[in-house]
Structure 1
Amino acid sequence: MKVLAFVVAILFALPPGQCRAQAITRIGILADFSSVTSDGVSTAASMALQDVPDRDRQLKVETVSADHQRKPDIAANIARQWIDSEKVSAIVVSGGIAVSLAVVGVTGEKKVLSIMSDVALPPRDRKAPTFNWTSNDQLIGLTLANYLVDNGHKNFSIVAPSTASGTALAKATSNVVTGLGGNIIEVSNYNFQGSWSGLRAGAPDATVVVFGYFLNGILDQIDDQKGRLRLAIGSPFFLTDIDKIGRSRLEGAIFATSFYWDANDATRDWAKRFVNARRERSTTPPDMIEAGIYSAVRHYLKALLEARESDADRVAEKMKQLPVDDFFAPNGRVRANGQLVHPVYIVQIKPKNDIRYAGDSLKVLEVIPGIAAQEAACGTPCPKKGACPQSSDQPDCPCPKGNACPQ
């Protein structure tokens, strides 16, 4: 476990002439340090601390970080220790559904605020303020499905894990595809021991949408059918995954992401700062987990400044009231259900010959505005895409019933 010694002074009003000892609060960052995020999450969090104005030095804020090793019991034990012994007032977690549920079980019991980077938990699993900041399977997968059908992809094979969440994602994706006029050729499943039913049928120019992380087996079949099958990745995917699997096997694949470092001037400026901050350890550009953690920690600190206390409910209220306007979520906001409204980028993996400089990995095909991505994630998009106003605040989805946009 590492403690980052970056300190931010937060405005904390005092009665005239009264002096108060400096209070300490800590933000916990839980991630898989052996995987895509590595120690970049710590760098991103420390950058957020540096970017909060240093005012009258009444509240000292630090971050602690730890590797949960993708094990729910380890994640829960660390969260409990942080809250009980280290004055942690908020926990930001990345690592999938099992780890996130374990952490939320502890934060709910202790009434501590939590921010899920890559999971959107249903209301029944929340007993304390909980936010989803960066991505989740439904947001990424269904936004991608909308884009594909709108841009000429008509025949689909869906490959998903043989789990409850995998089955639900396959069903939701099928509903989106058929609702927009596309065709579902088949749905096939795999388990995490490598058993897979395989692609049983084919169609000219079909698109295979893969959920989860069992890509190599699917790629074997797609490699054998070059020119017939196109690959789309429906789950969160990272730049480091391209190197692990091999660019030659993935070139042309399309996926959705909440952040790409080379998307615009603002993302490039922040990415340059990020790389400079950890140059001694790595020069790899940031991915969406690091970018999202920066944005989440920065916004939490702004809310802490406004609330002038670390009470979870008070800070959560301020987080929903304050606008989020940074490179990650320009003109963004936090909805009543704790979901950050932010753009989603539809990107394509470049072939080697198209790469112009280090980190030039993706071609941005389209930028989906935040509220339009939220509509797509419902699985029942509004009659006119983007018709829901940015201030739309339906508790669960912008368009949950009858495809009617709430006002």
Structure 2
Amino acid sequence: MNLKKNIVLAALASIFVASAPASANYSNNEIRIGYLADMTGAYRDPIGPRGMDAIQMAIDDMGGEINGARIVTFSADDRNSPDVGSSVVRSWIDERNVDMVTGLVASSVTLAAIRLLEENDKLGLVNGAVSSAITNQHCGPNHFHWVYDTWAMSNGTARAITQEGNKDWFLLSADYSFGHALEADVERVVKESGGRVLGKVRHPFPTTDFASFMLQAQASGAKVISLNNAGHDTINAIQTASEFGITQSGQILAGMVLFSSDIRSLGLETAQGLQFTKAWYYDINPEARAWAERFKERTGQMPTMVHAGLYSSTLHYLQAVKAAGTDDTQAVRQQMMKTPVNDIFAQNAYIREDGRMVHDMYLVRVKSPAESRNADDLFEIVRTIPAEEAFRPLSESVCKMVNN
């Protein structure tokens, strides 16, 4: 009788242990997150230091710990340098045993970082970088791409503008991997939509003097000037175009990667009428607005789409760590992939086998000063681009993990 009782108790104990994740399954009894971003340069305002606030909000919403394991963060300025970024990530892996690195803003820095993460079987959550190559030519089993990419941004904006009858384009691109990828994607969409590219020029990254580039664009006779850059470069290009009277003379400026912080810097008087694609806007639904108000109360500013993506991806990661009962990279990755994304950033979204997080995108128009009700009322949503249309189809992927 005692033997039977002991067997039953042992069986119950084994069931309990198997179903209740123990903190012993977390290395160092901590979940360690590194935030790598441009804190002082061209991408400081749309992402930068406030990205850490978004990450901390996700950590706070998880209670600051998981099954007794504390959530610890590190942050660093990559200075938009692949060498600096690689050095930071390597030190985090070797000296601090980070489990996950997020932020990852400049595409050149990101491509260097994800190689190190794969070599050391750590997870990367790419939020700031835009190059679609991250989940195409450079896809891998150790990173996800969350907010947007060049395929989605160009597909939404360039297709809409070309199909409105604006067939002749001039491409102005940042001269590094992100700008090159965006230039290629815009050119593809323009030609697929029946348009043509009359000229192209690349500018140094970053730069403040856009005069010669805008003169070339103006002289090309193109109806549309595509700004294949981001952050301060985009702001400077738009301001130069305004000084030269480019839009007043009838040419259209198409910003491929614009943030709400950019529109505030430019002012509605200068930016009104601009159309571009966004991954998220704080007025898409009441839940997004409520979270954005929390962010503003904490930071003094409304969040950009990347801030929302940092919150969303970090929360999804931490929920997966909790559900898996471990911080093992591949176990967490599988848990994230099999769990739909439903939060303030996206609804009914999911992660594909190439690492792309697939969600709705939005074509927006910048309001005029007369249309805007307050300082935070910047955009009108022209069209919701369904998730299945927004990103590169897997049938066109060259990712080694996709079985076409």
Q: Distance in 1 between the 2:244 and 2:253 partners?
A: 8
| Equivalent AA in structure 1 for residue 203 of structure 2 | N
Q: Which residue of 1 aligns with 2:6?
A: none
Change over 3 Å in CA distance of 1:209–1:224 after alignment to 2: closer
**Deviation larger for 60-69 or 293-302:** 60-69
Q: Which residue of 2 aligns with 1:334?
A: 351
- Counterpart check, 1:254 vs 2:257: no
Following TM superposition, by how much is the alpha carbon of 1:330 offset from its aligned partner in structure 2, in angstroms? 0.5
Following TM superposition, by how much is the alpha carbon of 1:217 offset from its aligned partner in structure 2, in angstroms? 7.1
Considering only CA atoms, is the larger Rg found in Structure 1 or Structure 2?
Answer: 2
Q: Which residue of 2 aligns with 1:267?
A: 288
- Counterpart check, 1:29 vs 2:22: no
Say which of 11, 14, 28 aligns to 2:17. Answer: 14
| Equivalent AA in structure 1 for residue 79 of structure 2 | Q
Contact 2:21 2:326 in 1 (8 A): no
Change over 3 Å in CA distance of 1:85–1:219 after alignment to 2: same
Following TM superposition, by how much is the alpha carbon of 1:191 offset from its aligned partner in structure 2, in angstroms? 2.0
Q: Distance in 2 between the 1:75 and 1:360 partners?
A: 36
Change over 3 Å in CA distance of 1:83–1:199 after alignment to 2: same
Contact 2:190 2:197 in 1 (8 A): no
SS in 1 for 2:254: strand
Q: Which residue of 1 aligns with 2:94?
A: 84
Q: Which residue of 2 aligns with 1:8?
A: none
Change over 3 Å in CA distance of 1:353–1:123 after alignment to 2: closer
Q: Which residue of 2 aligns with 1:149?
A: 162
Q: Which residue of 1 aligns with 2:397?
A: 396
Following TM superposition, by how much is the alpha carbon of 1:38 offset from its aligned partner in structure 2, in angstroms? 3.4
SS in 2 for 1:88: coil
Q: Distance in 2 between the 1:308 and 1:160 partners?
A: 45
Contact 2:104 2:110 in 1 (8 A): yes
Q: Distance in 1 between the 2:66 and 2:246 partners?
A: 65
Contact 2:108 2:176 in 1 (8 A): no
Contact 2:179 2:228 in 1 (8 A): yes
Q: Which has the higher contact order (CA 8 A, sep 6+)?
A: 2
Contact 1:336 1:395 in 2 (8 A): no
- Counterpart check, 1:189 vs 2:201: yes
Contact 2:101 2:125 in 1 (8 A): yes
Q: Distance in 2 between the 1:322 and 1:210 partners?
A: 36
Following TM superposition, by how much is the alpha carbon of 1:254 offset from its aligned partner in structure 2, in angstroms? 1.0
Say which of 229, 239, 245 aligns to 1:223. Answer: 245
| Equivalent AA in structure 2 for residue 261 of structure 1 | Y
Q: Distance in 2 between the 1:296 and 1:134 partners?
A: 9
Q: Distance in 2 between the 1:162 and 1:58 partners?
A: 47
Following TM superposition, by how much is the alpha carbon of 1:326 offset from its aligned partner in structure 2, in angstroms? 1.2
Say which of 172, 190, 200 aligns to 2:185. Answer: 172
Q: Which residue of 2 aligns with 1:239?
A: 260
Q: Which runs of 5+ in 2 are unaligned?
A: 1-15
Identity of aligned residues (%): 25
Cα RMSD after superposing both structures? 3.0
Change over 3 Å in CA distance of 1:92–1:185 after alignment to 2: closer
Report the TM-score when normalising by structure 2.
0.80
Q: Distance in 1 between the 2:139 and 2:381 partners?
A: 35
**Deviation larger for 338-347 or 55-64:** 55-64
**Deviation larger for 119-128 or 324-333:** 119-128
- Post-superposition Cα deviations, 1:301-326, rounded to whole Å, max 9, x if no partner, equal 12212222112111111111111111
**Deviation larger for 206-215 or 51-60:** 51-60
After superposition, where does 1:1-400 map in structure 2 within 5 Å? Answer: 14=17, 23-34=29-40, 35-36=44-45, 37-52=47-62, 57-117=67-127, 118-119=129-130, 120=132, 121-122=134-135, 125=138, 128-162=141-175, 166-181=179-194, 183-184=195-196, 186-192=198-204, 194=209, 196=213, 197-202=216-221, 206-212=223-229, 213-214=233-234, 215-216=237-238, 219-220=241-242, 223-226=245-248, 228-234=250-256, 236-276=257-297, 278=298, 282-374=299-391, 377=392, 396=397
Q: Which runs of 5+ in 1 are unaligned?
A: 1-12, 379-392, 399-405
Change over 3 Å in CA distance of 1:20–1:158 after alignment to 2: closer
SS in 2 for 1:315: helix
| Equivalent AA in structure 2 for residue 188 of structure 1 | K
- Post-superposition Cα deviations, 1:160-205, rounded to whole Å, max 9, x if no partner, equal 3455654553343233223233x225122132165534333326xx
Following TM superposition, by how much is the alpha carbon of 1:123 offset from its aligned partner in structure 2, in angstroms? 5.5
